[in-house]
């Protein structure tokens, strides 16, 4: 086929040379020459829609995952398997209260041992039960991130062989009573009202509302004094507690 075209039309993706009127169809030659812009567009589209995107892009996406995002995804992927529907609320509440201010916006790949200690150390002695649960939750979120490829380093929140060398064992920390653990675990007044035991319900409401009036509703003397000592911050109430371990624990927290 010979070239007879004397005019051309550029359609963006290629340059079409056309024969003038009066020439037969077999005398027309069309040459395709992709323009600079079309080549760039096709290359970009291929890069974004390819079934196997470049490893560098995958790595960038994975390593940008923050701890806060990882925590939400962990909870979302596990909450259906939890027996109590309130666990998800308790998980998110404890992480938001203690971990998020330090770790929330931090890429999960960059979380260090020092950062984990910054979260745990302030409450390890005063709120041992809460701190222990919190450590386990942070560890679970980071383990999830490692399994998903968002982190390659080891878990800085693991207990055995790492934090157990830096923090006292929970069992050796000043005793935390079941009433304290109850107050720390509550997410709101609605959960308090759902508690059948009157003393525990009053203690829970006192902790959540920070209202000493609810402490006086507790019939057990030691638990009532413990509640008042915590809400009012009074060491005198600690000395009124008869149980020796509970009294020591109360005094330790009231320092």
Least reliable range by pLDDT among 10-19, 112-121, 177-186, 196-205: 10-19
pLDDT at 205: 83
What's the average model confidence in pLDDT over 224-240?
Answer: 81
- DSSP H or E segment with residue 49: helix 36-49
pLDDT of 150 over the 80 cut: yes
Distance (Å, rounded) from C-alpha 180 to C-alpha 170? 14
Residue 213 tokens, joined: 């009036």
Q: How confident is the model at residue 40 (pLDDT cuts 50, 70, 90)?
A: very low
Of 174, 177, 235, 237, the C-alpha closest to 203 is 177
Q: Helix, strand, or coil here: 188?
A: coil
Of 185, 192, 181, the C-alpha closest to 246 is 181
pLDDT at 51: 53
Distance (Å, rounded) from C-alpha 222 to C-alpha 219? 9
Q: How confident is the model at residue 119 (pLDDT cuts 50, 70, 90)?
A: very high
pLDDT at 117: 95
**What torsion, rounded to 10 degrees, do the Cα atoms 73, 74, 75, 78 define?**
120
Q: What class does CATH assign to 65-172? A: mainly alpha
Name 6's Cβ contacts closer than 8 Å, sequence gap at least 6: 19, 20
The DSSP symbol for 78 reads H
Least reliable range by pLDDT among 51-55, 97-101, 216-220: 51-55
What's the average model confidence in pLDDT over 137-158?
Answer: 95
- pTM across the whole model: 0.51
Domain definitions of the chain by residue range: 7-51, 65-172, 178-253
Quick check: 64 and 39 in contact, CB under 8 A?
Answer: no
What is the residue-averaged pLDDT of the chain?
75
pLDDT in tens, 4-14: 444 444 444 44
pLDDT at 247: 78
Residue 159 vs residue 88, higher pLDDT? 159
Percent of the residues in the chain that have a pLDDT greater than 90, as a whole number: 30
- Write the burial class of residue 230 (CB in 10 Å: 0-12 exposed, 13-18 middle, 19+ buried): buried
Q: Is the dihedral of CA 101, 106, 111, 115 positive or negative?
A: negative
What's the average model confidence in pLDDT over 85-99?
Answer: 87
């Amino acid at each position: 086929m010979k070239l007879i075209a004397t005019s051309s039309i550029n359609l963006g993706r290629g340059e079409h040379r056309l024969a003038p009127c009066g020439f037969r169809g077999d005398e027309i030659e069309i040459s395709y020459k992709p323009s600079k812009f079309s080549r760039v567009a096709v290359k970009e589209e291929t890069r974004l829609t390819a079934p196997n995107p470049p490893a560098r892009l995958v790595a960038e996406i994975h390593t940008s995952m923050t701890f806060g995002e990882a925590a939400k995804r962990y909870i979302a992927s596990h909450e259906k398997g939890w027996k109590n529907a309130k666990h998800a609320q308790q998980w998110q509440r404890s992480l938001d209260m203690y971990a998020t201010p330090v770790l929330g916006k931090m890429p999960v790949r960059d979380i260090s041992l020092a950062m984990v200690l910054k979260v745990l150390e302030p409450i390890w002695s005063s709120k041992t039960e809460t701190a222990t649960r919190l450590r386990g939750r942070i560890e679970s979120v980071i383990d999830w991130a490692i399994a998903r490829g968002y982190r390659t380093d080891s878990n800085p929140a693991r207990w055995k062989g790492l934090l157990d060398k830096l923090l006292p064992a929970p069992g050796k920390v000043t005793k935390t009573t079941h009433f304290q653990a109850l107050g720390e675990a509550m997410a709101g007044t609605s959960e308090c009202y759902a508690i059948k035991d009157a003393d525990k319900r009053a203690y829970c409401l006192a902790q959540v509302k920070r209202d000493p009036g609810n402490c006086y509703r507790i019939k057990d003397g030691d638990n009532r004094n413990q509640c008042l000592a915590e809400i009012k911050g009074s060491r005198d109430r600690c000395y009124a507690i008869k149980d020796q371990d509970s009294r020591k624990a109360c005094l330790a927290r009231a320092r």
